[in-house]
Amino acid sequence: MDPSAADAIASPSPRDRALAVGGVSVPPGKRINLELPVTRLPTGTTLSLPITVVNGRHPGPRLWLSAAIHGDELNGVEIIRRVVRSLKPAQLNGAVIAAPVVNIFGLVEQSRYLPDRRDLNRSFPGSARGSLAARLAALFMREVVSHCTHGIDLHTAAIHRNNLPQIRANLEDPETYQFAKAFGAPIVIHADARDGSLRQAAAQRHIPTLLYEGGEALRFNEDAIQAGVNGVRRALAFLAMYTADAPNLVPLSQEARETRWVRASRGGFWHLQVALGQRVTQRQTLGMLTDAFGEKTVEVRSPMEGWVIGHSQNPLVHQGEALVHIATIAPVLKSRSSQNGGSTQLEDS
């Protein structure tokens, strides 16, 4: 066969590499902002899903970036803004589809949920004829996920909690494992996908997907934002999509297979004595619980050795409330040698 003919077969034409999102064709080497209509409010106001499509000049993987699936989790919005702003289509292999605010309803209301109190990250893959959450999930799957080979979903801790920057992923899948390690978060955690989560829906399509957690709800946490920006840029470089802004080094992430929340044995006022990322030993004091008068003090101790990956921000606690989240670090070789690897109590947020 003529070499030029072989090249023509192997390399799709620019027209074939145009990316159609929401009925709009984005040619190679172009960046387009779109508004995908979702629904009308009772007032008649239209709410839309904002999307940025950056279609690279050269062929390659297609990565989606999503944030604010829970409307009060804002760090991912800023992470996507910084990453996408710096992308140059002429230097990009493949495409990036960015959805900085998936749950526009929750963002406006500063709430995790949709107006019908449904959690969008329990509603995937959705249905075009279902609830508002199901319809939004179906739209996202159709117009974003279906075009992509990889995904990164950006989150923070839930309200009144703070999380160490971390990646949650299926570490038993070799491709996802390498993708997760390339992100370079301080800790990578093998986590089961919750029923109805975006990560589970993507996994059913065999799309390697990472869930990033960092910082707290309704706040911009600069450390968590910068860790997320650096991680996404490392992921783009790992996929050979974009190397211009990638950090030179990929930190060696700790790897965890089991996590546990330490809970309050009684109600009272919580005095935290450890920090995110701190290594703790078994029986180490994590903080103190006191009553309103500062009497009847109860020490809260760690049940295990590990790293602090999250904690409560609210000093007022009730009995049974989560106080400190600890991950047990497993040796990499040991954790990769078995399909069981040790139980995990962690799932998607």
Domain membership of residue 287 (yes or no) is yes
Instruction: Tell whether 205 and 326 lie within a shared domain.
Output: no
Instruction: Tell whether 288 and 246 lie within a shared domain.
Output: no
185 SS3 class: coil
**pLDDT digits 0-9 by tens, 77-93:** 999 999 999 999 999 99
**pLDDT digits 0-9 by tens, 114-159:** 998 999 999 999 999 999 999 999 999 999 999 999 999 999 999 9
Instruction: Tell whether 101 and 241 lie within a shared domain.
Output: yes
Instruction: Tell whether 174 and 247 lie within a shared domain.
Output: yes
- Indicate if the alpha-carbon torsion angle 8, 147, 190, 235 is positive or negative: positive
- 89: which DSSP letter? G
Q: Hey, which residues does 307 pair with through a beta bridge?
A: 279, 327
The CATH number of whichever domain residue 331 belongs to comes to 2.40.50.100
Residues 6 or more apart whose CB falls under 8 angstroms from that of 131 comprise 116, 118, 123
**pLDDT digits 0-9 by tens, 274-317:** 999 999 999 999 999 999 887 889 999 999 999 999 999 999 99
Instruction: Tell whether 222 and 272 lie within a shared domain.
Output: no
Quick check: 136 and 122 in contact, CB under 8 A?
no
Instruction: Tell whether 224 and 267 lie within a shared domain.
Output: no
Instruction: Tell whether 305 and 198 lie within a shared domain.
Output: no
Domain membership of residue 346 (yes or no) is no
Instruction: Tell whether 149 and 265 lie within a shared domain.
Output: no
As given in the structure block, the two tokens for residue 138 are 């179906």
- State the residue range of the domain holding 37: 3-252
Quick check: 54 and 96 in contact, CB under 8 A?
yes
Beta strands in 218-281 (DSSP E): 254-263, 268-272, 279-280
Helix axes 174-183, 222-238, angle to 10 degrees: 130
Quick check: 285 and 249 in contact, CB under 8 A?
no
What is the number of domains present in the chain? 2
Among candidates 250, 253, 255, which has minimal Cα distance to 234?
Answer: 250
Q: Which of 218, 252, 286 is at the close of a domain?
A: 252
The CATH number of whichever domain residue 57 belongs to comes to 3.40.630.10
d(CA 228, CA 209): 15
Q: Considering the entire predicted model, what is its pTM?
A: 0.90
> With 80 as the cut, is the pLDDT of residue 3 above it?
no
Q: Which of 210, 236, 252 is at the close of a domain?
A: 252
